[in-house]
């Protein structure tokens, strides 16, 4: 006669009262935790975003580096990732100034004459207490922030040129590749009001002196001038709107 064996299996995780007592006495191992399936996770926002140029443009440099092995199947995106990464590294490399740097006489050759050949250097010769120097310095402070790939330095006039006459101050010198490209003695070169935009236009009369670090180091003079004009118009419109708001509130 066939021998049938039945194995009774209770609901998973269930336990008898006797087993519970034995576990308390240490005669049985702890009851295993019941099996739970992993929670359902919906697709993330990142998964639903189409992978295109815009998606690449929103990535940081570190994120682009992490994508190196993930885009092998998409040759176009992989090439664009490399291009975008190179642009970001170039921008970081050239956008390294951003303020008017004070130098002394012994620093001049190293900081100005021996600056990198692709860097334009704007030097202001000045003295404290001369109002015209202060006015031009404020303009240069704004331009240095706006064009961080152009190097702006300031030096006390007599530290640079012994016995340099105060009547020539402020004096602006423009250097590139170790040579003087332009010089402006006195404030009258920059117009009656001497605004940052006016100074920028004078600096770029013949060369693309100003560089914001975003358009690359080979930007044309005309591109720089167009950017200066656009900022000038934006400032004029903004000031006009502020004047209108002030008049309406009176």
Please report the pLDDT score of residue 21 as a whole number.
72
DSSP strands (E only) in the chain: 100-102, 120-126, 151-156, 171-176, 179-185
Residue 219's pLDDT is what?
Answer: 59
The pLDDT score that the predictor gives to residue 44 is 46
**Structure tokens that stand for 164 in this block:** 């340099």
pLDDT score recorded for residue 84: 78
Within 10 A of 107 (CB to CB), how many other CB atoms are there? 15
pLDDT for res 63: 76
Task: Please give the pLDDT value at position 40.
Answer: 58
With contact defined as beta carbons under 8 Å apart, do 124 and 172 qualify?
yes
Residue 115 CB contacts under 8 Å (≥ 6 apart), including other chains: 121, 151, 175, 178
Radius of gyration for the chain, computed over Cα atoms and rounded to the nearest angstrom = 34
* Annotated domain spans of the chain: 53-94, 100-234
The CATH code for residues 100-234 is 3.40.30.10
Q: Evaluate whether 117 touches 177 at the Cβ level (below 8 Å).
A: yes
pLDDT at 144: 95
Summarised one tens digit per residue, pLDDT across range 121-163 is 999 999 999 999 999 999 999 999 988 989 999 999 999 999 9
Tokens 């130098």 -> residue: 103
| Residue in 151, 154, 146, 112 with CA at minimum distance from that of residue 130 | 154
How many secondary structure helices (H) and strands (E) does the chain include?
10, 5
Residues near 170 by Cβ (< 8 Å), separated by ≥ 6? 124, 125, 126, 130, 132, 133, 136, 137, 186, 187
Q: What is the pLDDT of residue 49?
A: 58
Q: Which residue numbers in the chain have pLDDT < 50?
A: 7-8, 44, 216-218
Q: How far is CA 65 from CA 45, 62, 71, 81, in A?
A: 20, 5, 11, 9
């Amino acid at each position: 006669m066939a021998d049938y064996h039945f194995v009774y299996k209770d609901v998973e995780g269930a336990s008898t009262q006797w087993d519970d007592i034995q576990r308390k006495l240490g005669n049985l191992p702890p009851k295993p935790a019941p099996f739970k399936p992993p929670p359902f996770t919906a697709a993330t926002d990142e998964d639903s975003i189409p992978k295109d140029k815009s998606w690449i443009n929103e990535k940081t440099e570190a994120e682009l580096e992490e994508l190196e092995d993930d885009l092998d199947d998409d040759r176009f995106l992989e090439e664009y990732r490399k291009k975008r990464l190179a642009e970001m590294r170039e921008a970081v490399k050239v956008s390294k100034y951003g303020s008017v740097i004070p130098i002394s006489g012994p620093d001049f050759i190293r900081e100005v004459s021996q600056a990198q050949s692709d860097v334009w250097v704007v030097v202001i010769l000045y003295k404290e207490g001369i109002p015209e120097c202060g006015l031009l310095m404020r303009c240069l402070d704004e331009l240095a922030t706006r064009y961080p790939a152009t190097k702006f330095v300031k030096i006390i006039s007599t530290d640079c040129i012994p016995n340099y006459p105060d009547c020539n101050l402020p004096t602006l010198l423009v250097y590139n590749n170790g040579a003087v490209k332009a010089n402006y003695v006195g404030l009258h070169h920059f117009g009656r009001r001497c605004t940052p935009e006016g100074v920028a236009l004078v600096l770029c009369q013949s060369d693309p002196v100003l560089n914001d670090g975003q358009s690359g180091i080979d930007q044309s003079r005309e591109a720089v001038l167009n950017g200066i004009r656009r900022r000038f118009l934006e400032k004029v419109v903004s000031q006009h709107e502020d004047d209108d708001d002030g008049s309406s509130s009176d």
